Amino acid sequence: MKNLAIQLDGVGKKYRYFTLDNIQLQLPPGQIMGLIGPNGAGKSTTIRILMGLIHQDQGEVRVLGHRMPAEQVAAKWDIGFASEDMRLYDVMTLDWHMRFIRSIYPQWDPAYAQLLLKRFGLMAEQKIKGLSHGQRVKATLLLVLARRPRLLVLDEPTTGLDPVARHEILRELTAVMNDEGRSILFSSHNTQDVEQISDQITFIDRGRIIDSMDKEAYLDRWRRLRLEAPTGIELPALPGVISIRQTGRLAVATSNEFGPGIARAYENSGARVQTIENMTLEEIFVAKVELSREEHQEVGA
Amino acid sequence: MDSGILISQSDKRPIYLQIIEQIKRRIALGDWSEGQPIPSIRQLAVDLQISVITVKRAYLELEREGVIVTQQGRGSRIAPTPGLGLRLHQEELQKHLEHAARLSALLGIEQKELETRLREASDSLAAKEDQ
């Protein structure tokens, strides 16, 4: 593939109690990818591998065309990386950090940095140790955003933030997309953030990718159908329906391959389709994780 | 240009449908006229703080329905079709009428009665507006 911002092919990493297994990821330039997964699913490990901070046991990693970890020095000029455990110097001011980053990265945009200070409500002369959690997160993001890197890699950028701060950050991330040449990969367990701003979504659970695709196409495949089945009618098992729950005359079916054929098949069986609802990414994520764990256990048993 | 589009999180419909509906309504009301340029896909995504792919999907659908035209490198605009606003108005009305017809069929209401009820609803609305 030409010019992918990120490409992971068959990437694996074994730990004593955790295995990252056969990770495939592709992020085209000009797009935002949201990486969703429960705690301990492998989101941070995947991010660390693609940043060259951890070396994979197997598989190919390319970031902005550079092979990782071998070419990480060249790659990092154009990547802005931020994560929770990134340490700023407590006794130094934000301004000191800004001047420090500016001295390393020639692309630093001082006007944009000033604008971000104002938008994030930060004061440059304040020492890091006096900042709240939210201010620290925003300070870290300011330091990577003002470099205007071609790729932003953000590990949980909105975790633990109040709604206003979250909103400010999502606004800056979507503003990056004004430039078609730039891309963002971010992880989150806030599915609402991911649903709102991502072009691509990737679900990861227990070290494996369970789905990775275009968000609109993905959301479109999932539906919840509310059915009314007269007594004595048995609802057929249909391909593309992953679960059906029946209580009395009412039933709820969840489809991950929805098409008009599914509603028709229920009608033909004598049931009535009351409503067909879209699902939120959160509902889909939970359903998908449950399904994937069931399937995996069956295979394992 | 401020699109004036507002995405509601409590609206159960997908975001791309909300965009389609609001653009159509602006045209139907005459806020946006035939042939007028509208924000580019990327620009609207940034304004609304949503993904590019969602706006792209809304624009593709609007293009398919002949509501907007997109030219490579020149952005998008409202289709220069005369009477487009009126057409969208009619389509909206048609949708509601069909909905009413479907509901009454479901409730076993006969066509004659539906007609009477519609006339009554229209009369009572007119009476209210006279007050």
From the list A295, A287, A292, A270, the residue with the least C-alpha distance to A224 is A287
Question: For B42, which of A177, A214, A215 is closest by C-beta distance?
Answer: A177
Nearest CA in chain A to B56: A216
Q: How far is CA A195 from the centre of its chain?
A: 9
Per-domain boundaries in chain A: 6-215, 219-300
Question: What's the CATH code, domain B15-78?
Answer: 1.10.10.10
Contact B51 A214 (CB under 8 A): no
Cβ contacts of B45 on chain A, cutoff 8 Å: 174, 177
Report the C-alpha gap between A142 and A134 in whole angstroms: 12
Cβ contacts of B51 on chain A, cutoff 8 Å: 32, 174, 196-199, 215
Cβ contacts of A171 on chain B, cutoff 8 Å: 49
Per-domain boundaries in chain B: 15-78, 84-130
Cβ contacts of B52 on chain A, cutoff 8 Å: 30-32, 177, 199
Contact of B24 with chain A, judged by CB distance below 8 Å, is answered with no
Nearest CA in chain A to B40: A178
Report the C-alpha gap between A179 and B40 in whole angstroms: 13
The total of other beta-carbon atoms located within 10 Å of residue B55's CB is 24
Q: What is the per-residue pLDDT across B32-91, written as a single tens digit (0 to 9) for each?
A: 999 999 999 999 999 999 999 999 999 999 999 999 999 888 889 999 998 898 999 899
Contact B49 A32 (CB under 8 A): no
Per the listing, tokens 């870290």 go with: A140
Nearest CA in chain B to A216: B54
Give buried/exposed letters for B65-102 (b at 16+ CB in 10 A, else e): eebbbbeeeeebbbbeeeebbebbbeeeeeeeeeeeee
Contact B50 A196 (CB under 8 A): yes
Report the C-alpha gap between B18 and B10 in whole angstroms: 11
What DSSP state is assigned to residue A90? T
Contact of B54 with chain A, judged by CB distance below 8 Å, is answered with yes
Q: What is the pTM of this model?
A: 0.89
Contact B12 A278 (CB under 8 A): yes
Per-residue confidence in pLDDT tens, chain A, 301 aa: 458 999 999 999 999 999 999 999 999 999 999 999 998 999 999 999 999 999 999 999 999 999 999 999 999 999 999 998 778 999 999 999 999 999 999 999 999 999 999 999 999 999 999 999 999 999 999 999 999 999 999 999 998 899 999 999 999 999 999 999 999 999 998 899 999 999 999 999 999 999 999 999 999 999 999 999 888 788 889 999 999 998 888 999 999 999 999 999 999 999 999 999 999 999 999 999 999 888 877 665 4
Question: For B50, which of A178, A197, A214 is closest by C-beta distance?
Answer: A197
What DSSP state is assigned to residue A128? G
How close is the nearest chain A Cα to the Cα of B103, in Å?
12
Report the C-alpha gap between A195 and A282 in whole angstroms: 8
CATH 3.40.50.1820 fits domain A6-215:
no
Contact of A58 with chain B, judged by CB distance below 8 Å, is answered with no
CATH number for A219-300 (one of 1.20.1070, 3.30.70, 2.40.50, 3.30.559): it is 3.30.70
Tell me, what's the pLDDT at A114?
Answer: 97
